[in-house]
Amino acid sequence: MSCTKVFYALGTENSITTQENCAAVLDKVIGRVAEIENKMSAFKASSEISIIAANAGKRPVAVSDEVYKVLELALKISRSSGGAFDITVRPLTKLWAFGMGKNTVPKSSKIASAKNFVGYDSIELDSKNNTVFLKKAGTKLDLGGIAKGYAADEAKRLLTENGVKRALINFGGNVFALGSSFDGAPWKIGIQNPLSVRGETVLSIELSDKTVVTSAVNERFFIKGGRRYHHILNPLTGQPASSGLLSVSVIAESSMLADALSTAAFVLGAKDGVKLVRSYGAEAIFITDSGDILSSFEISHAA
């Protein structure tokens, strides 16, 4: 008999399904996700992320080990992606306000102004003192492209530590398949059609003890003048990424890693995206603007 919990956190609907009667364990997981949100949300004034931003250009801020860990990986991927992934993108995401019902394209002058405060090179980490300093006043952080992944990894850790051997974690597109499915076979995970409603898939993959994270144009978007404006911004242009892709799904052992890589690869495009993904020992599936489905294996051998 399976046990499923559905809850809202980190800006999305989340679900965890286990075969065992694990209601108490799932409550622990939900509590843990709430802790992560309270530390990493850009929308909570008391979060560590908001406190870092409030002290930008003023002083370093001491943070928890887990916030430091997430920022450390984020900065590493920012550097290796040439800024395609950049957690200082908050001034731009706030300006575009996807999901807030505005559905308006910001003026180019406002985008240019916001870009003045975007740049991962303004992040200064001090591992000795566990502090974070944003060197430029006005810089703000947005962990929307990595925090859900970290939360999924933590959910998997808690379930495992509490004896759960089979579970499916789905944190708004961040899916972690723990063990095998209830019939003993690998979990079958559908890859969403990026131009359709949630639930319609174009293919499925089999996973055991791995994660798949998808970044796609159908998650948060609006259409204006016949053009689709989606929420995956290119930090270098301030505009929705235009790289010839509709979606990227990254398969890895760490959901936090896959989360950041899927965003970076989407911004970079298939050719450079696959190089980045493979450099971290992960794999990816790309769906192009023309509807072609490409795997990282195929792309890596097509030169």
Nearest to 271 by CA among 256, 288, 255, 258: 288
Q: Beta-strand (E) ranges in the chain?
A: 3-9, 12-18, 61-62, 123-126, 131-134, 167-171, 174-178, 187-192, 201-207, 210-216, 221-224, 227-230, 245-252, 283-288, 293-295
pLDDT band at 301 (very low <50, low <70, confident <90, very high): very low
* Domains of the chain from N-terminus onward: 3-32+148-300 (3.10.520.10), 46-134 (1.10.3980.10)
pLDDT digits (tens, 9 = 90+) for 140-169: 999 989 999 999 999 999 999 999 999 999
Token duo for residue 129: 């003192």
Question: What is the predicted pLDDT for the residue at 1?
Answer: 63
Helix (H, G, I), strand (E, B), or coil: what is residue 58? Answer: coil
* Token reading at 109: 């002058």
Q: Tens digits of per-residue pLDDT, 224-275?
A: 877 887 889 999 999 999 999 999 999 999 999 999 999 999 999 999 999 9
pLDDT tens digits for range 81-91:
999 999 999 99
